[in-house]
Structure 1
Amino acid sequence: MQKYTSVFILSVIITSIFIIWGLIPESVLPYGNLNHVTSVIQAFIIEKFGWFYLLTATFFLIFALSLIFSKYGKIKLGQDSDEPEYSYLSWFAMLFSAGMGIGLVFWGVSEPIFHYSAPPVGEGYTGQSGRDAIRYSFFHWGLHPWAIYSTIALALAYFTFRKEQNGVTSNILRPLFGERVDGNLGILINFIAVFATVFGVATSLGFGAAQISGGLSYLTPIDNSIQTQLIIILVVTILYMLSAQTGLNKGIRYLSNLNVILAFSLMLFLLFTGPTNFIMDLFTTSLGSYLQNLPSMSFKMTPFQTENTWVQDWTIFYWAWWISWAPFVGTFIARISKGRTIKEFVIGVLAVPTVFGALWFSVFGGSAIFLDFMEGAPIVDIVNEQGQEVALFAVLDHFPLGTVMSIIAIFLITTFFITSADSATFVLGMQTTNGLLNPPKKITFIWGVIQSASAAILLTAGGLDALQTSAIIAALPFAVIMILMVFSLLKSLQEETKPKRQNK
């Protein structure tokens, strides 16, 4: 077997070039440095293709929902005799931890409190802006992102376990392009998937490092600086590299279960020590409002309000971020979903994380809005002064055992960081070794170093803005590939059911 695949060599070379490019200071390349060039590209993409991201994400949601009620729902992701490898609890824990663990902890308070103070329409700091804040948080973290994940995960699982092909992205498009996916076209497709994964995950790791640093600075005299964040990335890199060497069934599985237990414990503690009735009332009314307004929000742009960039700054960024994460999360979910039916798979991937995420935002975001709106606590002011990364700790500080809860939160962010990075090295290893379900540890080690270096460079080059920029750029070409995946999957499913229709 070839020691290093063409996809691996090409991906390592180009991502390494980006890392080296990011090390060049602005003084040497005033207009050619990484941060400036990517910012220009991002501005162009947002201006010209924002509508494309919006329509694409909604298209994936419609596709996923239609599969639940289609004739394909009973088809297994594997052979008809295959049974699921993991229990529902472990399955949910791993897909949730890989899917949005770090992001949910980072944005659980900071996003609702931002929308509350600066809503998409109307005045901030009002009851209406508070309701809208939670509704839009549900929107950005609910059905749309998990539909994006489920689309690629379903396709990968179907072609890997039922059609018994190598678990690489290019094989999904074989029904459309035939043997061309075994040549340069396939190398290009798989490279785009790897590139999107590296920078999509780097965005999340950067957020995690920033929040750990913010929490430490909030609790201790440690400065919340780039230097601190880089040290955190180094330490956590060592930890997740050790975890990655234990494989999927040990390190990732155990840490994922631990993550869910810690997340549930932290959420339940705040729910019952905080304004319980307010939180549950807000959850109930926001869930109804989210479902009621889902169609209009899914297609909302502001063509007559060119000065209002809220949709571009939030919704478009999120859809791009989820798409850039899709090859990573999709590959990982596919790997752990063998033996489930299409209907069972789509319902599980869409419903369970969406409901949990909605409850999470109601508890953490709702508590923040309650403190600021009902109690007069300066939560928004603290976030504006010290950064979004301290938002969670500013809220926990107002409740019993606040310091203890903040320490647990930092530990939770760290374990989510390790799990996300660990899972990503595993997926990158699969995608660059012709789909090996257990890639060599040497390969995962190399990807672990590249991943952390990418996150560190992006943070150094432009902080959180640079992280967001990289995700939006990486997502555009992969969004096109994902659209092709839908038609390729449908073509294969139709071929599979043809004999049954002919026998009737």
Structure 2
Amino acid sequence: MSDSSTLSSAHSGSSASVPSDPPPGGPPEGNTKIPVNWRVLVASGVLIIAFSAWAMLAPAQADTVIGGVVAWVAKYLGWFYILTATLIIVFVVIVAASKQGNIKMGPDHAKPQFNMFTWTAMLFAAGIGVDLMFFSVSEPVSQYYAPPVGEGQNLEAARQAVVWTLFHYGITGWAMYALMGMAFGYFAYRFGMPLSIRSALYPLIGKRIHGLAGDAVDTAALLGTIFGVATSLGIGVVQLNFGLQFLFGVPENLAVQSALIALGVLMAVASCVSGVDKGIRRLSELNIILAIGLMLYVLIAGRTAFLLDAIVMNIGDFLARFPDMSLNTFAFEAPQEWMSGWTLFFWAWWIAWAPFVGLFLARISRGRTLRQFVVGTMTVPFAFILLWISIFGNSALDLVVGGNDAFGEVAVSTPERAFYSLLAEYPGVTIAASIATFTGLLFYVTSADSGALVMSNFTSKIEDPNQDGPKWLRAFWAIGTGVLTLAMLLVGGVTTLQNATLIMGLPFSVVMYMIMIGLWRALRVEASSAESNATASRSVVASRTGREMHWRSRLTRLGNYPGARTAQRYIHDVAAPALNTLAVGLRESGVDATVECTPIPDNASVDQVCLHVTLAPERDFTYQVYPVAFPTPGFGGFRTNPDSDQYYRLEVFAATGSMGYDVLGYTQDQLINDALDGYERHLKFIRINHEHPGSTQIGLTTSETITWGEDFSESKEETR
């Protein structure tokens, strides 16, 4: 599947003066001790160790049992995998196309951390891995010789072989990634919940996500992830082994593969514990460059005109056949062996990788709307995959159709040799094969590294979505993945890894249904909030006592760029007294209301003040006046703070972010009425939401309700 090696480093942005996002890197790793979720760690660790020991001690029995379970799943639950994959596509497309598609993965005021070019480049980076090198040649040839229906080795089989490969590596899998990325990013960055799968289930089971139910979900996700990663590493190992044999005559056997696994684990552990994220990120970027170079090499050295024609034809065939392929269970033909070996395996593999890659995609997409995220995730990586598979797959088919049956036999019987065997048909094979081997090694190491990082997060109790699990836990999972990979290779090689992934993906596919339901309920709450605001109008200059502000006062306010001293004086002389007066009135009406005026971390100049009204079991009301720094403009004659390079707006923040207007200059009565306007809209939001199932509360208790200003002491927007 896809490589996500920039997971832990991809969230570093450039500084700016507008506070819209928390510091991307979070607090220094050594300053905060991340607690371990021992129930998830012990449960998953015991299951994986037991499975690995069983596979190593009784490989024949393990192979028989795994094969039998796979046959049962293919016969009785194949329809479930097909239906699940299709429903996920429909769900994410509906979310993107609906009004909820405008909702951000973060507070309302958040800006994308990365500009469009950088973001799409990272999506592109997530789209390739060592397994793509493996299947881009072997699958088209295999589909040509043995298609699911009809005779093979004819022109129709050749035409559809690449289309089946694109189907298995295409939009369906990236829809699964988009679903998980939305769930991670929406609940973590918009509501301050842990960057964990259990957070997406809050609308369904409430606070029980912090108990055994949440632990069970994380355990299922972890088991699927480790088997999915192990499958990719197993494929990478056997292919690298042949690459070394091809270049240097190193023998192909289990001993060499074990040594490669040990080397990969050591490199992954070193990367995990040393924090060399920038180095890994550069290696990932180098991988992309090398991969593009290989693709262009085959395109230019091969039959260029034929390949360009084939790319266009593949696009047309894929678009025409995609709906039929998505729901085709082959009920009449019943090719169970083909289904379990191809479509069902790929869907289970994508499901297993969905938490892994979804977490990476969420980490680089804070501030993007759900629509931007879905469209980008489902198009950018697939565009590269389409080109890669079309070029390499059609080049392989061109050889086979042209009569090179020896190459076809190699691609089908020993698929790990297919990529190198194709390169051998072109000049300069030694250089091309060396680049392919180096690229595969880097993909292998970075997949193991980032996989260990994600699994350490799944087995930790992380409250800050910008933190990662302890270093020793990353090392533990890097080693555990290596041991599991070795165990599966001992049992039966890549085929057994594929079968185990198909089985382990089944329980998490059920979790994905729960995630869709939970996310949809949360988005319905957002719809209620939007409806409550649709009928409310706000003028940033109108008096909240019903009188219009005098035009000279308006003019003075528009040309004023107050410094820290003016903002601080307003907070203490106007805003805090006004909100305290309102809190007294609310308490007299029987409502629990409190006001806090507190310093801002890393800003000793201006405080913030927050009114909090407890409305349990519904979502609490928050009205926060927070100082937002901006560069002082130098145009016109209005500059009132010539000695400072920044001025302050006192913006109002609600539970979902900045409301986008400045209250500095309001009188106490105006501020009180503005807060009451917000409170009235909030009560209307609660009333409207009662028409739909689910509570307005999404993971935010009285003590946990976000006051966004506290998380926005520094801006980390990327403004380039």
Structure 2 CA distance, aligned partners of 1:286 and 1:408? 27
Contact preservation (8 Å) 1:98, 1:423: no
How far 1:123 sits from its partner (Å)?
2.4
Structure 1 CA distance, aligned partners of 2:174 and 2:284? 18
Structure 2 CA distance, aligned partners of 1:410 and 1:88? 32
How far 1:250 sits from its partner (Å)?
1.5
Structure 2 CA distance, aligned partners of 1:346 and 1:270? 31
How far 1:355 sits from its partner (Å)?
1.4
Structure 2 CA distance, aligned partners of 1:388 and 1:95? 28
What is the match of residue 236 of structure 1?
264
What is the match of residue 407 of structure 2?
379
2:151 matches 1:123: yes
What is the match of residue 583 of structure 2?
none
What do the CA deviations read for 1:38-81 (whole angstroms, capped 9, x no partner)?
22222221211110000000111111222221101221111223
After TM superposition, the runs of 4+ consecutive aligned structure 1 residues lying more than 6 A away are: none
Structure 1 CA distance, aligned partners of 2:121 and 2:280? 10
Q: 1:407 aligns with which of 434, 437, 441?
A: 434
Amino acid at match of 1:4: V
Unaligned runs of 5+ in 1: none
What is the match of residue 43 of structure 2?
10
Q: 1:308 to 1:57 in 2, by over 3 A?
A: closer
What is the match of residue 94 of structure 2?
66
What do the CA deviations read for 1:392-424 (whole angstroms, capped 9, x no partner)?
011101112112101111111111111211111
Greater relative contact order: 1 or 2 (C-alpha under 8 angstroms, separation 6 or more)?
1
What do the CA deviations read for 1:90-112 (whole angstroms, capped 9, x no partner)?
54455455555122111110111
What do the CA deviations read for 1:126-148 (whole angstroms, capped 9, x no partner)?
22111100111111111000001
Alignment RMSD (CA, Å): 1.9
Q: 1:427 to 1:495 in 2, by over 3 A?
A: same
Structure 1 segment 259-298 matched on structure 2, within 5 A: 259-298=287-326
Contact preservation (8 Å) 2:236, 2:444: yes
Q: 1:89 to 1:419 in 2, by over 3 A?
A: farther
2:110 matches 1:82: yes
What is the match of residue 370 of structure 1?
398
Structure 2 CA distance, aligned partners of 1:384 and 1:499? 56
2:508 matches 1:478: yes
Contact preservation (8 Å) 1:90, 1:253: no
Amino acid at match of 1:325: W
Contact preservation (8 Å) 2:92, 2:178: yes
Q: 1:438 aligns with which of 468, 483, 488?
A: 468
Contact preservation (8 Å) 2:35, 2:461: no
Contact preservation (8 Å) 2:123, 2:361: yes
Structure 2 CA distance, aligned partners of 1:246 and 1:157? 27
How far 1:3 sits from its partner (Å)?
4.0
Structure 2 CA distance, aligned partners of 1:344 and 1:248? 30
* Corresponding residue SS for 2:220: helix
Structure 1 segment 316-335 matched on structure 2, within 5 A: 316-335=344-363
Q: Give the structure with the higher percent strand.
A: 2
2:420 matches 1:390: no
What is the match of residue 418 of structure 1?
445
* Corresponding residue SS for 1:121: coil
How far 1:8 sits from its partner (Å)?
2.0
* Corresponding residue SS for 2:100: coil
Structure 1 segment 68-467 matched on structure 2, within 5 A: 68-88=96-116, 90-98=118-126, 100-247=128-275, 249-306=277-334, 309-374=337-402, 376=404, 378-384=406-412, 387-435=414-462, 437-467=467-497
* Corresponding residue SS for 2:102: coil
Amino acid at match of 1:480: V
Q: How many positions carry a matched residue from both structures?
A: 498
> Which range moved further: 90-99 or 358-367?
90-99
Q: Give the structure with the higher percent helix.
A: 1
Length-normalised TM-score, structure 2: 0.67
Q: 1:105 to 1:91 in 2, by over 3 A?
A: farther
Amino acid at match of 1:263: A
What is the match of residue 500 of structure 1?
530
* Corresponding residue SS for 1:72: helix
Structure 2 CA distance, aligned partners of 1:248 and 1:60? 36
Amino acid at match of 1:15: I
Q: 1:384 to 1:302 in 2, by over 3 A?
A: closer
* Corresponding residue SS for 2:77: helix
Contact preservation (8 Å) 1:93, 1:260: no
* Corresponding residue SS for 1:122: coil
Length-normalised TM-score, structure 1: 0.94
